[in-house]
Chains A and B, each alone.
Chain A
């Protein structure tokens, strides 16, 4: 009898503990998020948590080497947990969870126009008065007209600054070609579309890499018709990394995906695809697959970031033993069109700051932003931690090749990329010319300068993503990608393009176009 009641007692106690545990767990979960501090054992309250793009690098933990470097440069401790980027999708999801839990990182990169909602609900810190006063370096290093554009994009209409814009004041993306392949085959650099196609055919059939196997992929790109500016550009289509942009077509600001230019381009692309001049897997390639093909030395022409082409050059060299010569493919014009590579100056926002009343915290954030905008420190931000991100050669630091597995995410604060100008970019690359890497880095220096001859800005630069707020599928370009990819692969004939245009306008394109044109009228007024 006694044993039985003991058992019962134990059962009851256990059940009660469990129930209490569950209840109290629920309490904090649905609470207002005030009990925030105690969770991360070692991340001290003094630190700022900063979220940015991370392409697979290690997290920045309290007391780590990168943490110490940032502390030295900005005076503030900065931590960054590892958040998978995955083209921005996983990052966005994770960030949304944190926002939903009322526990935003102190400073973060907003994606896909998420800042609009946050600004409207007062969740972000108003930086308008703080920046000139407490972060003068940053205030100075971004041109006044860009700040004006940021103000004009304030969704509340009050002309306040909530975001630190990403500004690239030169052409960053463009097409590159294996010049050594052209030389091997005795071909000239193509300048017309006809010559371009001839070069593609020669690349496909004449074994330019000389390995005796027809493994060459003349050109291609990535899934969702991304990174194919070498083709879209020929038809004067404003296109940024695969996302159609807004430009003046027939005298009015128009989404470039629904123009005659796009129709003609897709028709041409479907011919190239059919002839096998584009990678058959173009529309299935993810970043890793496509980069892998380029790096293994089988791709002839591709679009990416020429200032980073030394990475491709070195990878190709490591994989094949051939030192490639990568050059800029001049912008080619399709008959009846003016070709160019799209130069996008305003690239959304690098940072927004979580709203807070805590003066000390605001001061810390401003200190970070000030250092971030201070050009004197940019080389230090770039070189990162000696021994991890860079090494000393002949008395000066040079960057080591990126190795995400062993390096912490030095790009957490990368003003040299996010407030970049051409001169600084060239200076930065020139500082990396060690005897060992001169052959590759010098190509990047030549290419980034060469590219500027072929780039063009476009009317819709700086258009806020908020115009898509009520039409997420248009913002996600779901319909465009579906039709474009099917037309390229030949699943749809080009006649289907008109159906796409109609459906696009019907499913919200009409309204979005109206908003975009209003914005443009405001901008040019």
Chain B
């Protein structure tokens, strides 16, 4: 408490302030430099979205092409298809998968056997560390002719069903594989938030005769909402940027019509064909949409909960 008074007096002078807290600023410096180097400097490279970039002429040497690359994207015959797929899969990932870790965390929190809790937590976290390439292989094997899925169907007297080449199955597979791989990891943040809840709240609730369910309903859950909102906001920024590896490792030509998204399209047309300007234009488009969505949802979040927004 003694230092608090001291701090107050010095806050008046900026120079003094810096001198006093110089080590802390110095410690922040690497992080700030990192952000500038790897987040802001590369942003300048986005300029090639408006150029006809050639690796031999460099960024400045390449000719300007105006909005040509964006026109090309919007005129792509399947633009509507990839936009729709991206939005649908983005919706699945952002809104359907999103509550699962929260529910899991609430359930885990009610487990009284600490060993059991740790074990389950570890087991559901492990898939997060497996790459999509491997998960894709597992999923294909799981649904293959000799896979568990078809063995069970066979035992039940049903025909072999090759799920991976059925359009109608792609979205469920996408949803389930996302939950399996990522929700365990998502619970970590919520469990941390739960552990920081003041135990006296639970104590007083117990004295008032609250049941376990009521404690969960009226204490744990409401206190997790701000965390949940922040995580949701962070996810929404990536709404159109689903990540290429999951879809790429799960789709087949037979499911293109529901699975082809911006990222896979960019990979096929931009990266593989070395059309960097075009790939950048698509990336820029995705980011702008992401930014708009973050701003909008931030507004909504601020309305919903007092400090629910990011800013």
Contact = CB atoms under 8 A, between A and B. Distances in A.
Contacts of B78: 473, 507
Contacts of A486: 253-254
Given A284-B144, A482-B257, A486-B254, A473 B37 contact: no
B106 to A, nearest CB: 39
A26 B144 contact: no
A319 interface: no
Q: Which of A15, A18, A92, A93 has the most CB of B within 10 A?
A: A15
Given A473-B269, A486-B254, A100 B274 contact: yes
Given A15-B30, A102-B55, A506-B77, A283 B268 contact: no
A96 B166 CA distance: 34
Given A123-B56, A478-B256, A11 B276 contact: no
Contact of B271 (A23, A93, A224): A93
Nearest to A276: B160
A: contact size bracket: 35 or more
B27 interface: yes
Contacts of B29: 15, 18-19
Contact of A11 (B27, B164, B252): B27
A491 to B, nearest CB: 6
Interface string A454-481: 0000000000000000001101101001
Interface secondary structure of B, over-half rule: helix
A271 interface: no
Given A15-B29, A100-B55, A476-B268, A7 B23 contact: yes
B274 A99 contact: yes
B15 to A, nearest CB: 15
Interface in A1-23: 7-8, 11-12, 14-15, 18-19, 22-23
Interface stretch (A114-122, A187-195, A335-343): A114-122
A491 B145 CA distance: 18
A223 B253 contact: yes
Contact of B162 (A12, A15, A281): A281
Nearest to B161: A280
A481 B253 contact: yes
Nearest to B257: A482
A89 interface: yes
Interface string B238-271: 0000000000000011101100000000001101
A4 to B, nearest CB: 8
Given A89-B272, A114-B274, A482-B254, A26 B37 contact: yes
B274 A96 contact: yes
Nearest to B59: A30
B14 interface: no
A472 B275 contact: yes
A490 B52 CA distance: 42
B54 interface: yes
A137 to B, nearest CB: 32
Contacts, number: 110
A117 B29 CA distance: 43
A503 interface: yes
Contacts of A281: 144-145, 162
B256 A482 contact: yes
Given A122-B56, A284-B144, A491 B165 contact: yes
A23 to B, nearest CB: 8
Contacts of A482: 253-254, 256-257
B: contact size bracket: 35 or more
A343 B294 CA distance: 56
Contacts of B162: 280-281, 284, 489
B208 interface: no
Nearest to B265: A473
Contacts of A92: 272
B165 A284 contact: yes
Contact of A22 (B33, B144, B273): B33
Contacts of B276: 100
B64 interface: no
Nearest to A223: B252
Nearest to B271: A93
Given A22-B33, A223-B253, A280-B160, A485 B77 contact: no
Contact of B145 (A100, A102, A280): A280
A18 B54 CA distance: 32
Contacts of A473: 78, 268-269
Nearest to A92: B272
Interface in A214-260: 223-224
Contacts of B253: 223-224, 283, 478, 481-482, 485-486
Contacts of B33: 15, 18-19, 22
A112 B57 CA distance: 22
A284 B30 contact: no
Nearest to B72: A470
Contacts of B56: 102, 121-123
A491 B27 contact: no
A284 B140 contact: yes
Contact of B26 (A15, A23, A506): A15
Contact of B37 (A22, A93, A224, A491): A22
Contacts of B254: 283, 482, 485-486, 489, 491
A388 B160 CA distance: 45
B207 interface: no
B158 interface: no
A489 B271 contact: no
Contacts of B257: 482
A472 B23 contact: no
Contact of A472 (B34, B166, B167, B273): B273
Interface of B: 22-23, 26-27, 29-30, 33-34, 37, 41, 54-58, 77-78, 140, 144-145, 160, 162, 164-167, 252-254, 256-257, 268-269, 271-276
Given A112-B273, A283-B253, 4 more contacts: A18-B33, A19-B33, A96-B271, A284-B162
7 contacts: A14-B30, A15-B29, A15-B33, A32-B58, A117-B274, A223-B252, A475-B273
What 7 pairs across the A-B complex have the smallest Cβ distances?
A11-B26, A15-B29, A481-B253, A507-B77, A121-B56, A472-B273, A472-B269
